[in-house]
Amino acid sequence: MNPAYEGMTARIQRRLWWLVMAMALLVALPVQARTPAKQAPVTTKTVLVMGDSLSAGYGIAVQQGWVSLLGQRLKATNPGWKVVNASVSGETTAGGLSRLPRELSRVKPAVVVIELGANDGLRGLPVRDMQANLDRMTKLSKASGAKVLLLGMRMPPNLGRAYTEGFANAYTGVARGNGASLVPFFLEPIVMQRAAFQRDNLHPTAPVQGKLLDHVWPALRPLMK
Q: What single DSSP character describes residue 43?
A: P
Catalytic residue of the set 89, 129, 181, 203: 203
Q: Is 203 an annotated catalytic residue?
A: yes
Contact of 124 with 61, CB cutoff 8 Å = no
Catalytic residue of the set 52, 68, 200, 215: 200
Tell me: do 83 and 180 sit in the same domain: yes
Render each residue's pLDDT in the chain as its tens digit; 225 residues: 544 445 444 554 555 444 444 444 333 444 333 444 455 445 799 999 999 999 999 999 999 999 999 999 999 999 999 999 999 999 999 999 999 999 999 999 999 999 999 999 999 999 999 999 999 999 999 999 999 999 999 999 999 999 999 999 999 999 999 999 999 999 999 999 999 999 999 999 999 999 999 999 999 999 999
Tell me: do 66 and 2 sit in the same domain: no
C-alpha to C-alpha distance for 113 and 107, rounded to whole angstroms? 13
Tell me: do 115 and 6 sit in the same domain: no
Tell me the β-bridge partners of 148: 112
Tell me: do 75 and 20 sit in the same domain: no
Tell me: do 21 and 124 sit in the same domain: no
Catalytic residue of the set 52, 53, 87, 141: 53
Tell me: do 25 and 120 sit in the same domain: no
Q: Is 215 an annotated catalytic residue?
A: no
Q: Is 120 an annotated catalytic residue?
A: no
Give the range of the structural domain holding residue 20, as residue numbers without chain letter. Answer: 1-36
Tell me: do 121 and 209 sit in the same domain: yes
Tell me: do 99 and 132 sit in the same domain: yes
CATH number of the domain where residue 100 is located? 3.40.50.1110
| Domain count along the chain | 2
C-alpha to C-alpha distance for 27 and 178, rounded to whole angstroms? 64
C-alpha to C-alpha distance for 213 and 186, rounded to whole angstroms? 9
Q: Is 114 helix (H, G, I), strand (E, B) or coil?
A: strand
Tell me: do 52 and 142 sit in the same domain: yes
